């Protein structure tokens, strides 16, 4: 029976593990973190919830707000997603809301700890102000706040430079699918979000499956 060593237990590695088992290979997954899942890992901040049921709110929404500072730039748009449809994320009648902005790894990396924490706090406060400005009925109901930067994703998910979807689309970007082989290196098959734009879960899943299918 062929033996396969899978390095990394993210979605690509776990998918490769499933397909390896299905194909009858003997496989082992090694993961450097204490839990698997990579960027698809969840972590708990005592519920991380808004104390109110957001079922009636648009699930994925962007709205205009007063200007707020994000890194060195100003924006007047806030985009959010909420997760009322997933009862495992928060107790019944409560929800998690995620507000997201494009972020630069280096900008956060260069900050000393105190400044880093101060920037996170300020951004969190400004976002709460923006959300409560748009939805006054939520005022005072945000119970737990967590501000995650690229450094957070690097620390908790092992994500390269805190990137959460691998490729950034630019006008000059080309479509490229890496076959997951490196010339001259035998028996190495790569998988993961970095092999195929736009990255994300579909690329991780597909390349994990293909890596196993490429093994003769």
Q: Which residues bind ligand FAD (CB under 6 A)?
A: 7-13, 30-33, 38-40, 153, 157-159, 164-165, 192-193, 199-202, 204
Cα separation, 118 vs 170, whole angstroms: 31
Q: Residue 9 or 52: which CB sits closer to ligand FAD?
A: 9
Nearest Cα neighbor of 37 from 204, 166, 216 is: 204
Q: Residue 15 or 68: which CB sits closer to ligand FAD?
A: 15
Q: Is 71 helix (H, G, I), strand (E, B) or coil?
A: coil
DSSP per position, 79-144: EEEE-TT-TTTS-TT-B-EEEE----HHHHHTS-HHHHHHHHHHHHHHHHHHHHHH-GGGTT-B--
CB of 208 to ligand FAD, least distance (A): 7
Q: Residue 7 or 151: which CB sits closer to ligand FAD?
A: 7
Q: Residue 98 or 117: which CB sits closer to ligand FAD?
A: 98
Instruction: Count CB neighbours of 211 within 10 A.
Output: 26
Q: Residue 41 or 133: which CB sits closer to ligand FAD?
A: 41
Angle subtended at Cα 208 by Cα 204 and Cα 209, rounded to the nearest 5 degrees: 125
CB of 7 to ligand FAD, least distance (A): 5
CB of 114 to ligand FAD, least distance (A): 26
CB of 139 to ligand FAD, least distance (A): 26
CB of 108 to ligand FAD, least distance (A): 15
């Amino acid at each position: 029976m062929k033996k396969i060593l899978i390095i990394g237990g993210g979605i690509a590695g776990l998918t490769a593990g499933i397909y390896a088992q299905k194909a009858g290979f003997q496989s082992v997954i090694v993961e450097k973190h204490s839990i698997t899942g990579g960027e698809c890992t969840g972590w708990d901040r005592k519920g991380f919830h808004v104390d109110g049921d957001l079922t009636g709110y648009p699930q994925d929404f962007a709205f205009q707000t007063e200007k707020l500072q994000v890194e060195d730039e100003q924006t007047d748009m806030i985009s959010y997603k909420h997760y009322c449809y997933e009862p495992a994320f928060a107790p019944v009648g409560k929800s998690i809301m995620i507000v997201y902005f494009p972020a630069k790894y280096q900008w956060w990396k260069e900050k000393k700890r105190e400044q880093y924490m101060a920037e996170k706090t300020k951004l969190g406060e400004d976002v709460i102000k923006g959300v409560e400005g748009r939805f006054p009925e939520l005022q005072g109901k945000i119970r737990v706040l967590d501000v995650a930067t690229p450094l957070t994703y690097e620390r908790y998910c092992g994500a390269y430079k805190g990137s959460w979807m691998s490729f950034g689309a630019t006008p000059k970007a080309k479509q490229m699918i890496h076959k997951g082989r490196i010339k001259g290196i035998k028996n190495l098959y790569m998988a993961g979000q970095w092999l195929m734009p736009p990255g994300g879960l579909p690329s991780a899943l597909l390349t994990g499956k293909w890596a196993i299918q490429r093994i003769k």
